[in-house]
């Protein structure tokens, strides 16, 4: 008991030597942003008299409170440095750029995803049997390695002996590059929703028969009469799926032939609809006519009242012209012939 | 990594990386600050800009030429500057007879002007005037706002947001306990003045784990008045 007491006394004495870390104040602290906002009123007298000292004391108190919060946080040791893990920042600040939207997948990426194809990582160097050494597949020294391999190119059996195989290889490569570029641009157009015509032919040598057919159909219907008077070759067929961009150009298909009973019932239906016609009532016209008649009636009544009123007042105000009644509009008088 | 789909591809890998960096990111780094002048600048403003620039290094850029910009009439040249130097924050200093020692602090969203505030600099004492050892560069400061006005008035709330944006450097998830060396205090007096002081933090022994904080004034001393 004595030992405990003495230890406590000792620690109390030691604590007295050091200054306290207590601050009796209530302020708003956002530890995530290392931010302290003190909304208590300022001592304006002290501000005027000795601003520096007052501000120093005030800031010291607030910083002490902030540090008290920081030192309560969980810490960990990274590379000999003690680091406190901060919570999420409460004070919201605007971003400098908008949040990026996820990019739509390209045609190949969608296909790969559907099929479950995963990209295999290839190493840069590969062993080549012909040259008996490691050559790079891309980048530095690739072209020189390829040139070494291509010191001679065999002319295949079925090829023209006068053809330049080297030029052919170069041309094939440039074609592949062009095709890749076209596909890349198509993917970009798809991603940005830019409409690109499907039927333009970029390279007539490489287009399929379908593409050519579609292009011909579209070209034909670009006349003033939508291709009605353009001649067709004997076995030429029109392309399908083009109707969206050639409205009115494609001919209507013939309806399938009907059986005799169906045809009979169809014709009878047409005859019925013609003969059983009842006068259709245009509701709006009827209502407005009714309203007009009511208004006329009222005006007639008022007119009959007015001469009495005028006699009383002594003829004040000019007489209004009576509105032309509906009856005078009718040309022929209903009910009968002209009497002789 | 997201593939950029530009119509014109960058020819070099370095160029591609630079373009990727300019695209919007999910998590953004520290915001850069751009200092530039208006039609005329005064000695006081130049020293102030230089001090703030030293404080904000390496996330700051200073332009030395004068520019014929009237920012509140047409902010398009400022937007062009910020886009070129990739800094969403800017401080423009200008001095004229009718508006002496003027400072305009503003920020951009997607390189379009978001907001800006005009301040008048009343007094300024630079770093050199304080005889004190300085702190390491690029340390994250603690920000202290004194005064009830910061929460009450709309203008001051706006200013608080701007100051935090400028001085807080970047969002961090953890901070080294030894590295908390810098404190900046913003005081809003009842007259409408803003006093900014910069202190060096010294941690003294106390009886327990949390140290006793002592401050020493090391840095600049600004007095701003909202225009």
Report if residue B11 sits inside a domain: no
Q: What is the ipTM of this complex?
A: 0.86
Q: Which helix (H) or strand (E) holds B60?
A: strand B60-66
A269's tokens: 């239906």
A7's tokens: 């230890």
Q: Which residues of A touch B110 (CB under 8 A)?
A: 96-98
Residue-level pLDDT at B113: 93
Residue-level pLDDT at A103: 85
Q: Could you tell me the residue range of the domain that residue B164 belongs to?
A: 29-226
Q: Residue B173: which residues within 8 A CB-CB, separation 6 or more?
A: A85, A86
| Main-chain phi, psi angles of B226, to 5 degrees | -70, 130
Structural domains of chain B, count: 1
Give percent of chain A with pLDDT exceeding 70: 84
pLDDT at A28 over 70: yes
Residue-level pLDDT at B161: 93
Report if residue B15 sits inside a domain: no
Q: How far is B185 from chain A (nearest CA, A)?
A: 6
The whole-number average pLDDT for the span A203-218 is 80
In degrees, to the nearest 5, what angle opens at C-alpha B192 toward C-alphas B190 and B195? 95
Task: State whether B208 and A21 contact (CB < 8 Å).
Answer: yes
> How many Å is the Cα radius of gyration of chain A?
48
Q: Which residues of B touch A84 (CB under 8 A)?
A: 174-177
pTM score above 0.90 = no
Report if residue B4 sits inside a domain: no
Nearest-by-CA chain A residue for B206:
A18
> What phi-psi label fits residue A280: left (phi over 0), alpha (psi between -120 and 50 degrees) or beta?
beta
Token pair 């931010």 in the structure block, residue: A35
Report if residue B139 sits inside a domain: yes
Residue-level pLDDT at B200: 86
Report if residue B20 sits inside a domain: no
Q: Residue A57: which residues within 8 A CB-CB, separation 6 or more?
A: none
Half-sphere exposure in the Cβ direction for A171 (13 Å, CA) = 6
Q: Which helix (H) or strand (E) holds B113?
A: strand B112-125
User: Which segments in chain B show pLDDT lower than 70?
Assistant: 1-6, 128-137, 227
Task: State whether A59 and B189 contact (CB < 8 Å).
Answer: no
Q: Which of A299, A59, A89 is nearest to B187 (CA)?
A: A59
Look at strands B142-146 and A35-38 and give their pairing. Answer: parallel
A251 burial type by CB count under 10 A (0-12 exposed, 13-18 middle, 19+ buried)? exposed
Interface mutation target, options A37, A44, A96, chain B, most CBs of B under 10 Å: A96
Report if residue B80 sits inside a domain: yes
Interface mutation target, options B125, B146, B172, B184, chain A, most CBs of A under 10 Å: B146
Q: Which residues of B touch A76 (CB under 8 A)?
A: 174
Residue-level pLDDT at A228: 83
In degrees, to the nearest 5, what angle opens at C-alpha B208 toward C-alphas B137 and A76? 55
Q: How far is B174 from chain A (nearest CA, A)?
A: 4
Task: State whether B146 and A91 contact (CB < 8 Å).
Answer: no
Report if residue B97 sits inside a domain: yes
The whole-number average pLDDT for the span A332-337 is 52
Q: What is the pLDDT of residues B4-25, one digit of tens each?
A: 456 778 889 999 999 888 889 8
CA distance A150 to A168: 13
CA distance B54 to B127: 9
Residue-level pLDDT at A200: 65
Q: What is the pLDDT of residues A177-196, one digit of tens each?
A: 999 988 988 898 888 887 76
Judge contact between B207 and A8, C-beta under 8 A: no
Q: What is the pLDDT of residues A232-281, one digit of tens each?
A: 888 888 888 777 777 766 666 778 888 899 999 999 999 999 998 887 78
Q: Which of A106, A297, A91 is nearest to A188 (CA)?
A: A106
Judge contact between A100 and B25, C-beta under 8 A: yes
pLDDT at A309 over 90: no
Q: What is the pLDDT of residues A135-151, one digit of tens each?
A: 999 989 999 999 999 89
The answer to whether the Cα torsion of A265, A266, A271, A272 is positive or negative is: positive
Q: How far is B67 from chain A (nearest CA, A)?
A: 24
The whole-number average pLDDT for the span A95-118 is 91
pLDDT, chain B, mean = 86
Look at strands B142-146 and B182-188 and give their pairing. Answer: parallel
pLDDT at A338 over 90: no
pLDDT band at A18 (very low <50, low <70, confident <90, very high): low
Task: State whether A96 and B108 contact (CB < 8 Å).
Answer: yes
CA distance B145 to A240: 72
Any idea what the CATH number is for the domain that residue B155 is in? Answer: 3.40.50.10480
Task: State whether B176 and A82 contact (CB < 8 Å).
Answer: yes
């Amino acid at each position: 008991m004595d030992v405990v007491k003495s230890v406590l006394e000792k620690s109390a004495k030691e604590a007295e030597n050091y200054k306290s870390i207590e601050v009796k104040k209530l302020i708003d602290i956002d530890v995530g942003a290392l931010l302290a906002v003190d909304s208590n009123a300022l001592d304006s007298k002290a501000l005027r008299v000795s601003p520096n000292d007052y501000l120093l004391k005030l800031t010291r108190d607030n910083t002490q409170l902030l540090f008290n919060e920081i030192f309560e946080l969980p810490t960990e040791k990274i590379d000999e440095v003690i680091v406190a893990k901060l919570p999420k920042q409460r004070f919201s600040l605007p971003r400098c750029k908008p949040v990026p939207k996820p990019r739509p997948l390209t045609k190949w990426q969608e296909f790969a995803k559907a099929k479950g194809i995963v990209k295999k990582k290839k190493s840069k160097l590969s062993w080549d049997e012909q040259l008996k050494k490691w050559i790079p597949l891309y980048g530095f020294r690739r072209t020189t390695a390829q040139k070494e391999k291509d010191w001679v190119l065999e002319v295949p059996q079925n090829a023209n002996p006068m053809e330049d195989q080297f030029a052919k290889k170069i041309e094939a490569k440039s074609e592949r590059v062009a095709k890749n570029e076209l596909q890349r641009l198509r993917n970009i157009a798809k991603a940005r929703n830019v409409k690109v015509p499907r039927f333009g032919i970029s390279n007539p040598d490489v287009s399929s028969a379908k593409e050519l057919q579609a292009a011909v159909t579209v070209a034909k219907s670009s006349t003033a009469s939508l291709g009605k008077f353009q001649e067709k070759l004997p076995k030429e067929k029109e392309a399908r799926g083009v109707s969206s961009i050639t409205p009115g150009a494609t001919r209507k298909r013939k309806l399938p032939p009907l059986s005799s009973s169906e045809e009979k019932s169809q014709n009878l239906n047409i005859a019925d609809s013609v003969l059983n016609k009842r006068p259709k009532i245009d509701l709006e016209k009827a209502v407005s006519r009714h309203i007009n008649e009511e208004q006329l009636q009222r005006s007639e009544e008022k007119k009959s009242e007015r001469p009495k009123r005028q006699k009383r007042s002594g003829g004040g105000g000019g007489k209004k012209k009576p509105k032309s009644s509906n009856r005078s509009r009718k040309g022929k008088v209903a009910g009968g012939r002209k009497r002789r | 990594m997201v593939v950029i789909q530009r119509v014109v591809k960058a020819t070099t890998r370095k160029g591609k990386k630079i373009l990727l960096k300019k695209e919007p990111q999910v998590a953004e780094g520290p915001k850069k600050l751009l200092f530039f002048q208006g039609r005329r600048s005064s000695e006081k403003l130049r020293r102030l800009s230089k001090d703030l620039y030293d404080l904000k290094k390496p996330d700051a850029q200073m332009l030395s030429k004068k520019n014929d910009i009237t920012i509140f009439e047409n902010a398009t040249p400022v937007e062009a500057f910020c886009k070129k130097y990739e800094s969403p924050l800017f401080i423009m200093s200008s001095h004229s007879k009718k508006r002496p020692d003027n400072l305009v602090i503003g920020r951009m969203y997607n390189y379009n002007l978001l907001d800006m505030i005009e301040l008048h600099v009343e007094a300024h004492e630079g770093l050199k005037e304080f005889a004190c050892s300085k702190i390491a560069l690029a340390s994250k400061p603690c920000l202290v706002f004194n005064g009830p006005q910061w929460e009450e008035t709309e203008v001051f709330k706006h200013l608080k947001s701007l100051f935090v944006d400028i001085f807080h450097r970047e969002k961090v998830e953890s901070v080294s306990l030894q590295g908390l060396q810098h404190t900046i205090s913003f005081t809003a007096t009842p007259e409408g003045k803003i006093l900014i002081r910069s202190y060096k933090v010294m941690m003294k022994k106390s009886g327990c784990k949390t140290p006793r904080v002592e401050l020493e004034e090391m840095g600049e001393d600004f007095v701003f008045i909202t225009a």
